[in-house]
Amino acid sequence: MKYSSQKVALWYFIVALVLFAAQVTFGLLAGYIYVAPNFLSELVPFNIARMIHTNALIVWLICGFFGAAYYLIPEEAEREIHSVKLAYIQLVIWVVGSGGAVISYLFRVHEGREFLEQPLWVKLGIVVAALMFLYNVSMTVLKGRKTTISNVLLLGLWGLAVFFLFAFYNSVNLAIDKMYWWYVVHLWVEGVWELIMVSILGFLLLKLTGVDREVIDKWIYAIAALALFSGVLGTGHHYYWIGTPGYWQWIGSIFSTLEVAPFFAMVVFSFVMVWKGRRDHPNKAAILWALGCATMAFFGAGVWGFLHTLSSVNYLTHGTQVTPAHGHMAFFGAYVSLNLAIITYAMPILLKREPYNQVLNMISFWLMTGGMAFMTFVLTFAGVVQTHLQRVMGEYFMDVQDQLIFFYWMRLGSGVIFVIGALLFIYAMAKPQKELIESGAQEVAPAE
Amino acid sequence: MSEMMTKSKARNIFYGGSLFFFVIFIGLTAQSHLYVLNESSNNDQLSESVIRGKHVWEKHSCINCHTILGEGAYFAPEVGNVFVRYGGIDDPEGAKDSIKEWMKAQPTGIEGRRQMPQFNLTDEELDDLANFLEWTSKIDTQGWPPNDAG
């Protein structure tokens, strides 16, 4: 840790991991309700469990982004954070808002649009926290060294805040409501969040591989360009069936097919940098997460996104289990893994330890990645069967669901594996260990 | 990456191109906005009751179990066409009554069946919700869903 103010990142990462634990717990509950529908049906009905599952995901990912920015921006700008105090006040607002949202959901206090259920005071808190954050990091960058990594990261974070403002516009006309709802949801995850992703990934590769910054910078701009060139008009794949004009079927199909390109480029980018890199960085777990992030994002967001993005395919699959299959792996690959990668990298440095527990961490990587891959496969099968029975044969929804129970049991199993992986990750981060276990330990053993 | 592409070139392509695509997107959104208001959604039939019905839909977070026009959770049936599925094209009042009766009869409590909570809606709220679902079913959705099953 070169700058003492980077320490604030530690608290952001801790809060992020606590919310991560809450997210997967409620995910497990929702998965269990699928196979045992009477479970807690009065106390925590499915809609509440799912609301907490998705909202906790969003707030912990953003909390992780904040932490990542507070960690890397001082190193990039070569100066301390503008105001450490402001960063802590911002975190307090974030914790009160996130915790307040989860508790109020349990008491049925929420708004009614998917993912934007936060009560108004929480939404306003999010805006205030985001403004404090943007002011803080922007001032740090403006006064310090300006790099590609911090430029693209800041652009992504500003975009995140700007597009969130559409959460305050809820038209009385459902079709209009949906159209601008996607300004938040799509332009986040398939737009500006990709800028955040590529810049954090670039920072990690710079530190872990020792490749020349000039090379990293060019890749970052190229990938960011691919992301926005495809992703902005790619919003069209959500405008097929909600009352918007028919031309979106063409625009959405073409541009969202191209959305695979930035994710493929990130795979090439990260693997080429690791191969080219001369540095033998001791934190192997961070390298694993960085490579895993690019790979799983490519499959989850890229391949599984393409799977149902052409309008002729989407006509049949829209709103079936194919969508959560894609959603789970895409979020895990792109944004969960990204956060876990930067946390894996930064945590030992913030705690002033060697990366001791990395074997445990790497086991958690394989548990989570394997669990999520299996979950995606079974949901895809469920979605294909559902598409055929419901959309082609015309059988009714609940009759079809009864035939999918086997897949839902397997999804629950993969969820259990994932949760074990998540808890193991948190344990590996939290528990201090005295001994350094190195993968190549026998080579460095002293000669007798 | 090739030496032809300098960093500043890559940066300029990124900024310029993104702005270009963004302007196109805003333009098409504006056109779509007008299309929804004037052509696809019967905006003139958006009565006070339909508007209140949308609020009932939101207040109880129906979207975290159901889908509407294919968006939402995948735990419970599509409701964008529930009015059609209940025979509303031939018998609008009958379909709306069926929707209201369904709401009142929940939860079934049957073991092994997915449970829909009892939301204790007033008669006015039930009417509003039914009117909202009728209005929604008439949005021109380019022929989606493929059949009444939703």
Tell me: the pLDDT tens digits for A16-61? Answer: 999 999 999 999 999 999 999 999 988 999 999 999 999 999 999 9
pLDDT of A436 over the 70 cut: no
Rounded percentage of chain A residues whose pLDDT exceeds 70: 96
For residue A437, the model assigns a pLDDT of: 58
DSSP state of B78: B
> What's the rounded Cα separation, in Å, for the pair A230 and A121?
35
| Mean pLDDT, range A194-200, rounded to an integer | 98
For residue B78, the cross-strand partners are: B67
For residue A279, the model assigns a pLDDT of: 82
In 3-state terms chain A splits into helix, strand, coil percentages (rounded to 5) of 80, 0, 20
Which positions 24-53 of A are in contact with B (Cβ < 8 Å)?
34, 37-38, 41-42, 45-48, 50-51
| Mean pLDDT, range B110-119, rounded to an integer | 93
pLDDT band at A1 (very low <50, low <70, confident <90, very high): confident
pLDDT of A445 over the 90 cut: no
pLDDT of A406 over the 50 cut: yes
Nearest to A270 by CA among A330, A200, A327: A200
How high does pLDDT run on average in chain A?
95
Q: Phi-psi region for residue A160, left (φ > 0), alpha (ψ -120 to 50) or beta?
A: alpha
For A272, A319, B79, the CA distances from B67, given in Å and listed in that order, are 42, 7, 6
- CB atoms B64 and A34 under 8 Å: no
Q: pLDDT (tens digit, 9 = 90+) per residue, A338-366?
A: 999 999 999 999 998 877 679 999 999 99
The chain B residue lying nearest A319, using CA atoms, is B70
Q: How many CB atoms lie within 10 A of CB A418?
A: 26
- Contact A114/B at CB under 8 A: yes
pLDDT band at A443 (very low <50, low <70, confident <90, very high): very low
> What's the rounded Cα separation, in Å, for the pair B51 and B47?
6
Rounded percentage of chain B residues whose pLDDT exceeds 70: 98
- CB atoms B115 and A37 under 8 Å: yes
pLDDT of A304 over the 70 cut: yes
Nearest to A355 by CA among A291, A427, A284, A426: A284
Reported as half-sphere exposure (CB side, CA atoms, 13 A), residue B107 has a value of 17
Rounded percentage of chain B residues whose pLDDT exceeds 90: 92
For residue A441, the model assigns a pLDDT of: 44
Which positions 373-432 of A are in contact with B (Cβ < 8 Å)?
390-392, 394-398, 400-401
- CB atoms A176 and B37 under 8 Å: yes
**Residue whose token pair is 């961070």:** A286
A221 interaction partners in chain B (CB closer than 8 Å): 7, 10-11, 13-14
Reported as half-sphere exposure (CB side, CA atoms, 13 A), residue A440 has a value of 7
Mutation site for B-interface testing, chosen from A232, A269, A309, A391 by largest number of B Cβ within 10 Å: A232
Backbone angles phi, psi at B78, to 5 degrees: -60, 135
Rounded percentage of chain A residues whose pLDDT exceeds 90: 92
Which positions 341-360 of A are in contact with B (Cβ < 8 Å)?
none
For residue A447, the model assigns a pLDDT of: 43
Q: Name which residue leads in pLDDT, A325 or B5.
A: A325
